[in-house]
Amino acid sequence: MQRVLPQVFAGSDVRCIVGGQSIKTAHKIGPVSFYPYVPAGDLLPHCDWTICHGGQNTIIQSLSHGVPLLVFPGPIFERRYNAEKVTQAGVGYMGEKPDFGLTWLEEKLATQNDCTVRAAELSRRIRSYGGARAAVEAIEAWHS
């Protein structure tokens, strides 16, 4: 990330923010800021893309805000399944480890308009389900 992302966003007015447990201290390389933790709920309403490993929470949080995704799931089945569904829905792309480079990322980032339109549609659908409160009510109704 520290080598590739500064290349991707060099010369751009886009700011890239990276949060990860492996980052020990906050630092910046060119237009990319690295932090040990980033509060996704605060950041996502201002994002154009999410680049992630494909955990369910990150995908749903991103799509809830209409943010398309670039997902690098690695070998984990659940994350690969999630990434495939992101790709099938047209709200982003699944990449493999060798794809994480300047050419692949620039190519995918250039499709932002199409992916954002589809992500916004999914965002409306997700919100229409009523969120956690509706889920709790459905579970309570099921148990009564």
pLDDT the model gives residue 83: 98
Is 88 domain-assigned? yes
Is 79 domain-assigned? yes
Q: Mean pLDDT of residues grouped by 10 in the chain (144 residues)?
A: 94 90 94 94 94 95 96 97 98 97 96 95 93 91 86
Distance (Å, rounded) from C-alpha 97 to C-alpha 126?
30
pLDDT the model gives residue 82: 97
pLDDT the model gives residue 131: 87
* β-strands 69-71, 92-94 pairing: parallel
Is 114 domain-assigned? yes
Is 11 domain-assigned? no
pLDDT the model gives residue 66: 96
Span 39-67, pLDDT tens digits: 998 999 999 999 999 999 999 999 999 99
Is 105 domain-assigned? yes
Judge whether 129 and 69 are in contact, CB under 8 Å.
no
Is 8 domain-assigned? no
47: left (phi over 0), alpha (psi -120 to 50) or beta: beta
pLDDT the model gives residue 12: 85
- Counting the structural domains of the chain, the total is 1
pLDDT the model gives residue 117: 96
pLDDT the model gives residue 72: 97
Is 111 domain-assigned? yes
Is 7 domain-assigned? no
Q: Which domain holds residue 64?
A: 39-143
CATH of the domain at 106: 3.40.50.2000
The pTM (predicted TM-score) of the whole model is 0.89
